[in-house]
Amino acid sequence: MSKTKPHPSARDALSRRRLLRAGMSVAAALPFGFAATTGRAWGPGPGTPFDPGPLCAPAAAEAATGPLRPIKLAWNATAICTAAAPVAKERGIFAQHGLDVEFVNFGGSTEALLEAIATGKADAGIGMALRWLKPLEQGFDVKITAGLHGGCLRLLGAKSAGITDIASLKGKTIAISDHASPAKNFFGLLLADAGIDPEREVEWRQYPADLLNLAVEKGEVQALADADPRTWIWLKDPRLTEVATNLTGIYATRSCCVVAVRGSLVRNDRAVAGALTRAVLEGGHCVQTDPADAAAIFANYGGKGSVEDLAAMLRSQTHQHRPVGADLKQEIALYGDELKRVNVLRRTTDTAKFAERVFADVLS
């Protein structure tokens, strides 16, 4: 982290945050029932504007005292875009918010993950909006509370097949890991934007995720669509070229990964839901300001790729973009409108009402 002396206004902001954390530390030491009813142990309370950062100090600095609230957070330990979570844990940010977070590494279906959150087997999760919105349309009691960053999906084409842009994919075959993948959903949108029917004028062919590049190499497909870290590593192959990412065009300022909390926690313990959301967002701030440190932490959790590659992936993503409140709700509605166009969401879904139903403001 930089040693530059902060501007006076920055010092004032830091002082306010230190005062807030000191108050949280005292409140965290109160008996659990009292803290839960007052909300003092886990945040500044309703009406206080969200202050996103930074709490990137080592774990020993200003950690909360007293008992911490146990929380289970579902995530995918192989997905570099979830690096904010282990950073928040290892840099003591969860503890500073009065939380003892246990990670649940979830590699199953999205429906099973959301069901686990909705039924209390996990308290919250981090995942891709474009994978979660369809199951949420079906009624899972899970609320999106924040966007985490943009970027991490890539569409790679075979140079030998002349795949250089979206238009060149018409009539071609694209390898994907599954037919509900966020990569298929997103790049289906780009195809539709280019006037190509994503269901009739291209073929999506499913392969095991780690073998997508081999399908291109064998000539069985002409392109692949997936997420980092795999796509970043495959891009080193000189036979492949990057055609597009989920930061292409109008999506450059859109978040892709989101934080979601079980609905019953939002309703019954909003302060805890807010504290967890704040902590993950502050972890995202640390990822933005020190991607090398974040990469080293993520690598210790089993992330694929060298620390240098992982840090480069994080720099390519927009970890400064962490929408909350009305901005997040608008992004959800926009994705809803777009997913209707490619027949992922029902054409009859009112996306404004849908966004209102699946979103929760726990930070103001």
Token pair recorded at residue 254: 């859109």
Reference 94, options 59, 118, 124, 129; nearest CA is 59
Token couple for 284: 């995202």
* Whole-number pLDDT of residue 24: 39
Residue 302: count of CB within 10 angstroms of its CB: 9
Report residue 61's pLDDT band, with 50, 70 and 90 as the boundaries: very low
Q: How confident is the model at residue 128, as a pLDDT?
A: 87
Q: pLDDT tens-digit profile of 127-174?
A: 888 888 988 998 889 999 999 999 989 999 999 999 999 999 999 999
Q: Summarize the confidence of residues 254-277 as an average pLDDT.
A: 94
Summary mean pLDDT of the chain = 83
Contacts of residue 353, defined as CB under 8 A and 6 or more positions apart, other chains included, come to none
Asked whether the CA dihedral 210, 212, 216, 218 is positive or negative, the reply is positive
Asked if residue 229 has a cis previous peptide bond (ω within 30° of 0), the answer is yes
Residue 83 phi/psi, 5-degree rounding, is -60, -25
Separation CA 239–CA 251 (nearest Å):
27
Give dist(CA 141, CA 356) in Å, integer.
13
d(C-alpha 124, C-alpha 354), whole Å: 20
Q: What is the model's pTM?
A: 0.81
**Beta-sheet pairing, 240-245 with 153-158:** antiparallel
Average pLDDT over residues 263-285: 95
Average pLDDT, integer, range 63-80: 83
User: How many CB atoms within 10 Å of residue 170?
Assistant: 13
The pLDDT assigned to 78 comes to 84
In the predicted model, what is the mean pLDDT of residues 95-106?
A: 92
Cis peptide before 208 (omega within 30 of 0): no
26-59 pLDDT, tens per residue? 333 333 332 333 333 344 444 444 555 444 444 4
| Beta-bridge partner residues of 127 | 258
Q: What are phi and psi of 286, to 5 degrees?
A: -65, -40
| Of residues 41 and 263, more confidently modeled | 263
Residue 330, both tokens: 């608008």
pLDDT value of position 234: 96
Quick one: what percent of the chain has pLDDT higher than 90? 65
Q: Are 289 and 1 in contact (CB under 8 A)?
A: yes
pLDDT tier, 196 (very low <50, low <70, confident <90, very high otherwise): very high
What is the number of residues in the chain?
Answer: 364
